[in-house]
Chain A
Amino acid sequence: MENKLVVSPSPHIHSGDTIEKNMYGVLIALVPAFLVALYVFRLDALIITALAVLFCVGFEYLIVKYIMKKTPTVLDGSAIITGVLLAFNVPSNLPIWILALGCLFAIGVVKLSFGGLGNNIFNPAIAGRIFLLISFPAQMTVWPAPDIAGTVDAVTSATVLGNLKSNPELLPSLQTMFFGTEAGSIGEMSALALLLGLGWLLWKKVITWHIPVSIMATVAIFTGIIYIFNPIPLYNPLIHLFSGGLMLGAVFMATDYVTSPMTRKGMLIYGAGIGFITVAIRLWGAYPEGVSFAILLMNAFTPLINNYTTPKRFGEVVKHG
């Protein structure tokens, strides 16, 4: 053996886990939701998603290479996820140029100007969605009707949440909401598909249960308590769980590594905060949907939560066995 011996500090083995494995794990978890989206919105869903991914990856590559003058690592999967999630948050008939703007904002401003992966404070996809919502309210709140028959036309209808306050008699059945054929953005269709994704993420240990469960539990309990006193659809916990972007947000957006707390205690507080703010906006705010704002607001609290929560320390429990 003519080569020199390699010397480095321990440990000398590695689990083989990589950033890519985790990112692609998330993408796989999004496949069921994507399939439902294809079924409901046909070609539009495919075009929007593909273009969003293209824009996000493209903008990241260009900005990192030519403006930041560093080596681009676009294939680590995080830009792809931002693209998919942003696409899942918009109506399927959104004009392409608006989508491109959203991607530019999400990648360029929210992610890269803060320092790239690992250094951003706010979730790029969520911030991108809110940017589009505020800048283009008309295009962002017009939701195409589910188009199972196959004819792509311009019929639009209000979403579940839109009807929740004003026309509760137009609400689809819980079954429809769970399996996914009501009006809304591409990704928030089927609670079932999203839950399948959650199962995959937990099994592959990409995320832990703390954030999704705490968000859903808080929403259910908060609305549930009010529902006990006033059982109208507006306060029905199941409707809140299955409608809108709650599942998508709870499973895929709030669990983003970079913008969520690092300790178990912290994650539970974060999830509870999101659940609480979501319900508050949905019930008493001007917008029908509160998940995006809730996540964005709690993102701002993440550093504070990280500062004030610590993991369970060894030695704190001295139980005599």
Chain B
Amino acid sequence: MSVLLTAVVTLGVIGAGSAAILYLIGQKFKVEEDPRIQEVQDALPAANCGGCGFPGCASFASACVKADTLEGLNCPVGGQSTMDKVAEILGQTAPVAVKKIAVVRCSGTCEHRPRTNLYDGVSNCTIAAALYGGDTGCSFGCLGLGDCEESCTFDAIHINPETMLPEVVEDKCTACGACVKACPKDIIELRKQGPKSRRIYVSCVNEEKGGVARKSCEVACIGCSKCQQVCPFEAITIENNLAYIIDDKCRLCRKCVPVCPTNSILELNFPPRKDKSPKEEAATVDA
């Protein structure tokens, strides 16, 4: 019995002593930090994705606290609600964030863009892009090997096995930009999600002359500039045989979509047109 007592007392004393020493050392070597940084950090989604441009949530929180104004600081994952919370903690006004989303600018499915050779290397877009122009006639288009899917930490982009193209899951995409960086062909872009999630964009990145582009893919942009001519807001530029719709100028009027001879311009989440011609069938992509 006394042995048991001795053991318990000894261990208890050692334990308590160690705890006391650790506490004292913890207090002595404590790093002084503005307590607001921790508060802000707790309000963040803790995804550590780097979408804000900082290496991790702690870094972003620190930047918010140190900045004079929250303008230019945005957490795309947390969105407006998170920035509002941060603003509240710091007594500042939250910047109005424009909700962006990843957009895949290629519609070269297996059906539209026939395969001309068999790629037998590693399933990695960067490696394939370094090797050659791809297994179709279009050397600008999506390779379908999934670097974007690999890079996404929100499970928001997947390669559709039938079309061999990536598809963005609207409610999961946080516009963190990982897939944009991962794509070696610069096919993915962050664009405004738009009111009611509506957006219009040219779904092609081929810079070849029209005839060549069209030969390799049925829905390629041929640089004919019909869309540019019909746009009332000067929102479309044509460079290197490729049309591009400028996000900030586009008012979603949809005039360009039906005039495109190859159905290369896509309009997402719009209601069907009253005057439906066969050309408009290309438009709806499932979110």
Establish whether A and B are touching in the complex (CB under 8 Å).
Answer: yes
Shortest beta-carbon distance from A218 to chain B in Å: 42
Name which of A3, A4, A5, A8 has the most chain B CB atoms within 10 A of its CB.
A8
B127 and A7 within 8 A (CB): no
A6 within 8 A of B: yes
In the complex, which range does the number of interface residues on chain B fall in? Answer: 10 to 19
Q: How far is the CA of A7 from the CA of B136 in the complex (A)?
A: 12
Residues of B within 8 A of A5 (CB): 117-118
Task: Flag whether B120 is at the interface (Cβ < 8 A).
Answer: yes
Question: CA A3 – CA B118 in complex, angstroms?
Answer: 9
B185 at the interface (CB under 8 A from A): no
Q: B287 an interface residue at 8 Å Cβ cutoff?
A: no
Chain B residues with Cβ below 8 Å from A4 are: 115-118
Are B119's CB and A8's CB within 8 A?
yes
Quick one: which of A3, A6, A7 contacts B132, CB cutoff 8 A?
A: A7
Interface flag for A9 (CB, 8 Å): yes
Q: Which residues of B contact A3 (CB under 8 A)?
A: 118
**Residue B131 CB within 8 A of the other chain:** yes
Q: Does A9 contact B117, Cβ atoms closer than 8 Å? A: no
Interface residues of B in 132-172 (CB under 8 A from A): 132, 135
Q: How far is the CA of A6 from the CA of B119 in the complex (A)?
A: 6
B272 within 8 A of A: no
Q: Which residues of A contact B117 (CB under 8 A)?
A: 4-7
Chain A: how many interface residues by the 8 Å CB criterion?
A: 7
Check: B278 CB closer than 8 A to any chain A CB. Answer: no
The answer to whether B121 has its CB under 8 Å from any CB of chain A is yes
Tally inter-chain residue pairs, CB-CB below 8 A.
26
Distance in angstroms from B169 CB to nearest chain A CB is 26
Q: Using Cβ atoms and an 8 Å threshold, which residues of chain A touch B127?
A: 9
Cα distance, A4 to B120, chains bound together (Å): 11
A7 touches B120 (CB 8 A): yes
Bound CA–CA A8/B117 (angstroms): 10
A253 to chain B, nearest CB (A): 34
Contact B115 A8 (CB under 8 A): no
Give chain A residues whose Cβ lies under 8 Å from the Cβ of B115. 4
- Asked if A8 contacts B116 (CB within 8 A), the reply is no
How distant is the Cα of A8 from the Cα of B132 in the complex, in angstroms?
A: 9
The residue on B at minimum CB distance from A7 is B117
Q: How far is the CA of A7 from the CA of B132 in the complex (A)?
A: 9
Chain A nearest CB: distance from B125 CB in Å?
13
Q: Nearest chain B CB to A199's CB is how many angstroms away? A: 38
Q: In the complex, what distance in Å separates the CA atom of A4 from the CA atom of B122?
A: 18
Task: Chain B residues near A8: list those with CB within 8 A.
Answer: 119-121, 131
- Cβ of A131 to closest chain B Cβ, rounded Å: 32
Q: Which residues of A contact B135 (CB under 8 A)?
A: 7
Chain A residues with Cβ under 8 A from B118's Cβ?
Answer: 3-7
Complex: A5 Cα to B120 Cα, angstroms: 10
Chain A contacts for B120, CB-based, 8 A:
6-8
**Binary interface encoding of chain B residues 89-123 relative to chain A, with 1 for a CB under 8 A from any of its CBs, else 0:** 00000000000000000000000000111111110
With both chains docked as a complex, state the minimum distance between the C-beta of B284 and any C-beta of chain A, in angstroms.
32
Question: A6–B120 Cα gap in the complex (Å)?
Answer: 6
Q: Which of A3, A5, A7 has most B Cβ within 10 Å?
A: A7
Q: In the assembled complex, how far is the CB of residue A240 from the closest CB belonging to chain B, in whole angstroms?
A: 46
Q: Report the Cα distance A109→B121, complex, angstroms.
A: 35
Whether B116 lies near A9 (C-beta < 8 A) is: no
Tell me the bound Cα distance from A7 to B118 in angstroms.
6
Interchain nearest-CB distance for A137 vs B (Å): 31
Q: When chains A and B are docked, how far (Å) is the Cα of A5 from the Cα of B121?
A: 13
A3–B117 alpha-carbon span in the complex (Å)? 9
Q: Kindly state the separation between the CA atoms of A137 and B135 in the bound complex, as whole angstroms.
A: 63
Residues A1-40 near B (CB distance < 8 A):
3-9
* A230 vs B121: C-alpha distance when bound (angstroms): 64
* Bound-complex Cα distance A8 to B119 (A): 6
CA distance A6 to B117 in the complex (A): 6
Q: Which residue of B lies closest to A5 (CB)?
A: B117
Query: Complex: how many Å from CA A7 to CA B127?
Result: 12
Residues of the B chain whose Cβ atoms lie less than 8 Å from the Cβ of A9: 121-122, 127, 131
Q: Residues of A at under 8 Å CB distance from B?
A: 3-9
Q: Which 5 A-B pairs have the closest CB atoms?
A: A8-B120, A8-B121, A4-B118, A5-B117, A6-B118
Task: Give the A-binding residues of B (Cβ under 8 A).
Answer: 115-122, 127, 131-132, 135
A-B contact pairs, 7 of them (CB 8 A): A4-B118, A5-B117, A7-B117, A7-B120, A7-B131, A7-B132, A9-B131
Known: A6-B118, A7-B118, A8-B131. 12 other contacts (CB 8 A): A3-B118, A4-B115, A4-B117, A4-B118, A5-B117, A6-B120, A7-B117, A7-B135, A8-B119, A9-B121, A9-B127, A9-B131
